[in-house]
């Protein structure tokens, strides 16, 4: 890339932005004269890229720069800094590819997505340039700063717009008077104010009231207005809304109702053409509810093939059956995985689902074993394939028998009869919420010897297999009696592919389509957590029905996020209060405060911010807390950046911003260290 001439003023600018050679050995052998020569080759194009004043100019000048850059690549006499520019400039041009789809004809949500992707790409290039050594680093940083400023201005401009939509329904005709109901909804991201709504009628008719006024309408808010049309003939009726937003005044939105007359005897009947029927989408998502029937599970259960294979390999295909422990955070899908196993394992297993939480309030071993025995008998009857007379012959101990000698009556009497009835089949205990057993021991509701009794069952009952699921991994410190006889597998968040299936597939039967960017946005807000995906998609379906849409864009997702954060706080509180401890809440709150101003937060920045509240915060303790938050899928390390973190679940970040004052975080920091 060459510029035919360079003025003294431009040379002065070039000298100001090109740092003196010092840092790296490979750059100190280039003289200032060589740098001026390089500046002359590249300065013309770079200065044009810096001087842009609009998004369209970014596209125009970058296209021209790409052509010059192609010619520049053909040249052979390039020094080390020019070679580095051959890497950096293509990244700069690629960063604005989403901007090419930006135009006023597409929806506001798609425009915001396009701008957001461009801004994210530019910030990523800026981080790469900041770590480079080229003398043009500062100049490229200025170009990127200018471009990001223009993109942010456009985002603020669009975000400041209200967008009203008028729809009509429920036209009623009585004695020559027609009642027309209009729904006015704000589809924009900003508040609409000073709203005036009126009906414009062609024909010999009058409207009452002539105008209705609303002081404001928040984003996604809707109001219903009723008008009466009086008279004999109304050829056409238009709804007109005039309103203000932060960017302009007296904006207009029109809606044509298209009425025609039809006279029957002495009465006037008016009908709307065309008539559009809307059928609500039956919400297929089940956030936080009990596991569904098998048909519903087939539709909503995605992924986990690696977990199911792991269980099969250690039960079915292993030389000897092992005790399998599945662990993970609450609402990660452990229960659904256990129930899926019931349908997937070979017929030689009779699965028995045992939810310890259901009887965690009882005291003593006898009622616990009584509950387990009852569930085993019910499973025998429910699964079929076993002679009912044989089931009736099983000796089920009474509670007082368990009290007198539970090892004998449960193992030697009850389980012995069950195994005789099963023949070649094996009893498979699927023990859910297994940590409740340990909690019962810690609370004194069960003796510690009960865990030894379970271990004996696992090791010496050859026709019984066990799969445990809970929130804790079995370690030498936790449930040490099982440590050497169990294999463990963590159940974490879904893969990107499986998360996308859970988002998109349940709505396909209803003809709903997703913008790819909207799917990506849901994954970002949920961190691919299956529960939060269902929770957010549940609100998306509500938004589709409310707006009578069959298409999901970024704006609808943002509205669903706001709804979850504002009204669904109990669904997020358990992560903040139950999953995180006090130190983790202090660090997460600090990160959120930092991320108000920047995209990521590194270890040093977090430590500096925390030491403002408490100079005694140790760096090694902070590193440990950050690692715990990563293990809990709350934050993640930024790719390619050392000791830099961001929230994995955007919903948690939004929750902290909305409901947890930073002053509380500062109080924790001062108290805990």
CATH of the domain at 203: 2.60.40.10
**In sequence order, what are the residues at sequence separation of 6 or more whose Cβ sits closer than 8 angstroms to the Cβ of residue 516?**
none
Residue 3: predicted pLDDT: 37
The tokens describing 426, both together, are: 């094996």
Residue 290: predicted pLDDT: 57
Picking from 437, 456, 490, the residue at the C-terminal end of a domain is 490
The tokens describing 632, both together, are: 């809990």
Place of tokens 């809707």: 222
Whether 5 has a pLDDT exceeding 80, the answer reads: no
Whether 39 has a pLDDT exceeding 60, the answer reads: no
Burial label, 523 (beta-carbon count in 10 A; 0-12, 13-18, 19+): buried
Q: Which of 44-53, 58-67, 297-306, 588-597 has the highest mean pLDDT?
A: 588-597
Task: Kindly state whether residue 565 falls inside one of the protein's structural domains.
Answer: no
Task: Look up the domain containing 199 and give its range.
Answer: 164-272
Residue 460: predicted pLDDT: 67
Task: Kindly state whether residue 359 falls inside one of the protein's structural domains.
Answer: yes
Q: Which of 221-225, 257-261, 491-495 has the highest mean pLDDT?
A: 491-495
Q: How confident is the model at residue 337 (pLDDT cuts 50, 70, 90)?
A: confident
Residue 626: predicted pLDDT: 92
Task: Kindly state whether residue 559 falls inside one of the protein's structural domains.
Answer: no
CA-nearest of 470, 575, 562 to 531 is 575
Same domain, 485 and 341: yes
Task: Kindly state whether residue 252 falls inside one of the protein's structural domains.
Answer: yes
Pairing verdict, β 551-552 and 513-514: parallel
Based on DSSP, count helices (H) and strands (E) in the chain, helices before strands: 25, 20
CA-nearest of 151, 129, 143, 145 to 84 is 129
Lowest mean pLDDT among 258-267, 418-427, 584-593, 624-633: 258-267
Task: Kindly state whether residue 294 falls inside one of the protein's structural domains.
Answer: no
Same domain, 73 and 209: no
Task: Report which of residues 478 and 535 the model is more confident about.
Answer: 535
Residues for the chain: how many in total? 673
CA-nearest of 575, 641, 315 to 458 is 315
DSSP of 519-558, one letter per residue?
HHHHHHHHTT-HHHHHHHHHHHHHHHHHHT-SEE-HHHHH
Contacts by residues 495-502 (CB-CB < 8 Å, ≥ 24 positions apart): 495/303, 495/528, 496/523, 496/528, 497/303, 498/302, 498/303, 498/304, 498/528, 499/523, 499/526, 499/528, 499/530, 499/533, 501/302, 501/303, 502/300, 502/302, 502/303, 502/530, 502/533, 502/534, 502/537
Task: Report which of residues 664 and 12 the model is more confident about.
Answer: 664
CA-nearest of 441, 428, 412 to 468 is 428
Average pLDDT value for residue range 645-652: 86
Please give the DSSP secondary-structure letter assigned to residue 235. -
Q: Residues 59, 61, 65, 67: is their CA dihedral positive or negative?
A: positive
Q: Is 431 helix (H, G, I), strand (E, B) or coil?
A: strand
Pairing verdict, β 205-208 and 222-231: antiparallel
Residue 319: predicted pLDDT: 52
Same domain, 69 and 119: yes
Q: Which of 31-45, 424-438, 462-476 has the highest mean pLDDT?
A: 424-438
CATH number at residue 435: 3.40.50.300
Q: How confident is the model at residue 569 (pLDDT cuts 50, 70, 90)?
A: low
Same domain, 78 and 220: no
Same domain, 509 and 650: no
In contact, 113 and 554? CB cutoff 8 Å: yes
The C-alpha atoms of residue 98 and residue 523 are separated, in whole angstroms, by 19
Residue 633: predicted pLDDT: 84
Task: Kindly state whether residue 288 falls inside one of the protein's structural domains.
Answer: no
Mean pLDDT (the chain, rounded)? 76
Same domain, 442 and 413: yes
Burial label, 509 (beta-carbon count in 10 A; 0-12, 13-18, 19+): exposed
H helix runs in 345-434, sequence order: 365-383, 388-392, 399-407, 416-422
Residue 234: predicted pLDDT: 47
The C-alpha atoms of residue 418 and residue 396 are separated, in whole angstroms, by 10
**In sequence order, what are the residues at sequence separation of 6 or more whose Cβ sits closer than 8 angstroms to the Cβ of residue 97?**
121
The tokens describing 119, both together, are: 């801004």
Place of tokens 């109080």: 667
Say if pTM beats, i.e. exceeds, 0.95: no
Residue 659: predicted pLDDT: 84
Same domain, 486 and 508: no
Task: Report which of residues 25 and 438 the model is more confident about.
Answer: 438
Average pLDDT value for residue range 187-200: 81
Task: Kindly state whether residue 286 falls inside one of the protein's structural domains.
Answer: no
CA-nearest of 437, 537, 607, 558 to 113 is 558
pLDDT in tens, 72-123: 555 556 555 556 666 677 788 888 888 877 766 666 667 777 888 888 888 8
Residue 632: predicted pLDDT: 84
The C-alpha atoms of residue 84 and residue 156 are separated, in whole angstroms, by 34
Residue 260: predicted pLDDT: 41
Same domain, 407 and 390: yes
Same domain, 507 and 481: no
Task: Kindly state whether residue 138 falls inside one of the protein's structural domains.
Answer: yes
pLDDT in tens, 366-420: 999 998 999 888 888 887 677 788 888 889 889 899 899 988 999 889 988 888 8
Same domain, 449 and 470: yes
Average pLDDT value for residue range 22-40: 45
Residue 477: predicted pLDDT: 54
Count structural domains, the chain.
5
Same domain, 641 and 667: yes
Q: Is 490 helix (H, G, I), strand (E, B) or coil?
A: strand
CATH number at residue 619: 1.10.10
The tokens describing 275, both together, are: 């008539």
Picking from 467, 490, 513, the residue at the C-terminal end of a domain is 490
Residue 272: predicted pLDDT: 35
The C-alpha atoms of residue 320 and residue 307 are separated, in whole angstroms, by 19
The tokens describing 230, both together, are: 């009086």
Lowest mean pLDDT among 59-68, 145-154, 621-630: 59-68
Q: Residues 478, 479, 481, 483: is their CA dihedral positive or negative?
A: negative
Whether 15 has a pLDDT exceeding 50, the answer reads: no
Q: How confident is the model at residue 171 (pLDDT cuts 50, 70, 90)?
A: low
Q: How far apart are the first and last CA of the chain?
A: 57
The C-alpha atoms of residue 507 and residue 541 are separated, in whole angstroms, by 9
Q: Distances from the Cα of 199 to the Cαs of 168, 196, 438, in angstroms? A: 11, 10, 69
Task: Report which of residues 67 and 609 the model is more confident about.
Answer: 609
**In sequence order, what are the residues at sequence separation of 6 or more whose Cβ sits closer than 8 angstroms to the Cβ of residue 213?**
194, 195, 196, 197
The tokens describing 496, both together, are: 């990107």
CA-nearest of 50, 10, 14, 17 to 143 is 50
CA atoms within 13 A on the CB side of 332: 26
The C-alpha atoms of residue 518 and residue 514 are separated, in whole angstroms, by 6
Same domain, 379 and 448: yes
pLDDT in tens, 207-232: 777 788 887 787 778 888 777 777 65
CA-nearest of 208, 236, 222, 243 to 167 is 222
- Torsion-angle region of residue 99: left (phi > 0), alpha (psi -120 to 50) or beta? alpha
Lowest mean pLDDT among 138-147, 253-262, 434-443, 495-504: 253-262
Residue 32: predicted pLDDT: 46
Picking from 250, 272, 294, the residue at the C-terminal end of a domain is 272
């Amino acid at each position: 890339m060459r510029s035919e001439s360079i003025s003294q003023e431009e040379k002065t600018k070039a000298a100001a932005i090109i740092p003196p050679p010092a840092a790296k050995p490979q750059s100190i052998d280039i003289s200032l004269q060589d740098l001026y020569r390089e500046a002359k080759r590249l300065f013309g194009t770079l200065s044009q890229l810096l001087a842009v004043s609009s998004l369209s100019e970014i596209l125009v000048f970058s296209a021209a720069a790409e052509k010059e850059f192609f010619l520049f690549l053909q040249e052979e006499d390039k020094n080390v800094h020019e070679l580095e520019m051959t890497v950096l400039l293509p990244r700069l041009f690629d960063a604005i590819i989403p901007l090419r789809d930006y135009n006023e004809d597409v929806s506001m949500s798609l425009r915001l997505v396009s701008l957001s992707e461009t801004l994210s790409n530019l910030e990523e290039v800026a981080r790469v340039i900041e770590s480079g050594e080229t003398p043009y680093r500062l100049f490229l940083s200025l170009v990127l700063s200018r471009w990001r400023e223009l993109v942010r201005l456009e985002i603020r401009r669009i975000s400041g717009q209200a967008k009203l939509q008028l729809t009509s329904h429920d036209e009623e005709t009585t004695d020559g008077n027609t009642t027309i109901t209009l729904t006015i909804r704000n589809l924009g991201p900003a508040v609409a104010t000073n709203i005036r709504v009126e009906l414009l009628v062609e024909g010999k008719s009058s409207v009452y009231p002539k105008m209705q006024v609303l002081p404001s309408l928040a984003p996604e808010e809707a109001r219903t207005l009723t008008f009466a049309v009086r008279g004999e003939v109304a050829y056409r009726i238009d709804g007109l809304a005039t309103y203000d937003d932060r960017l302009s005044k007296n904006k207009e939105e029109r809606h044509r109702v298209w009425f025609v007359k039809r006279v029957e005897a002495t009465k006037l009947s008016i009908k709307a053409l065309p008539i559009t029927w809307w059928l609500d989408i039956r919400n297929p998502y089940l956030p936080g509810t009990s596991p569904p029937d098998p048909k519903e599970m087939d539709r909503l259960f995605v992924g986990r093939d690696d977990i199911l294979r792991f269980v099969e390999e250690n039960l079915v295909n292993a030389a000897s059956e092992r005790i399998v422990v599945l662990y993970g955070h609450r609402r990660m899908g452990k229960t659904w995985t256990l129930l899926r196993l019931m349908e997937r394992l070979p017929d030689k297993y009779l699965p028995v689902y045992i939810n310890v939480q259901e009887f965690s309030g009882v005291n003593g071993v006898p009622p616990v074993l009584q509950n387990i025995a009852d569930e085993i008998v019910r499973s025998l009857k429910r699964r079929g394939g076993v002679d009912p007379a044989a089931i009736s012959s099983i000796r089920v101990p009474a509670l007082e028998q368990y009290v007198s000698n539970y090892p004998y009556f449960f193992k030697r009497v009850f389980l012995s009869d069950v195994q005789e009835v099963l023949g070649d089949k094996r009893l498979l205990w699927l023990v859910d919420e297994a940590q409740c057993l340990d909690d019962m021991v810690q609370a004194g509701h069960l003796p510690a010897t009960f865990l030894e009794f379970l271990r004996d069952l696992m090791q010496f009952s050859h026709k019984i297999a066990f799969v445990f699921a809970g929130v804790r991994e079995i370690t030498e410190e936790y449930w040490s009696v099982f440590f050497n006889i169990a294999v463990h597998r963590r159940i974490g968040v879904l893969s990107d592919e499986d998360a996308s299936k859970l988002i998109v597939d349940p709505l396909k039967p209803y003809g709903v389509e997703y913008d790819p960017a909207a799917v990506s946005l849901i994954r970002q807000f949920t961190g691919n957590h299956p529960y939060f995906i269902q929770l957010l998609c549940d609100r998306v379906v509500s938004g589709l029905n409310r707006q009578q849409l069959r298409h999901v864009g970024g704006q609808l997702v943002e509205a669903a996020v706001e709804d979850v954060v504002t009204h669904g706080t109990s669904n997020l509180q358990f992560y903040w209060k139950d999953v995180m401890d006090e130190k983790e809440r202090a660090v997460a709150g600090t990160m959120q405060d930092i991320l108000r101003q920047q995209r990521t937060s590194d270890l040093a920045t977090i430590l500096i911010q925390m030491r403002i509240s408490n100079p005694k915060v140790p760096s090694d303790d902070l590193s440990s807390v950050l690692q715990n938050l990563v293990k809990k899928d709350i934050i993640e390390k930024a790719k390619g950046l050392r000791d830099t973190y961001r929230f994995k679940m955007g919903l948690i970040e939004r929750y902290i911003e909305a409901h947890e004052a930073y002053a509380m975080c500062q109080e924790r920091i001062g108290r805990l260290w």
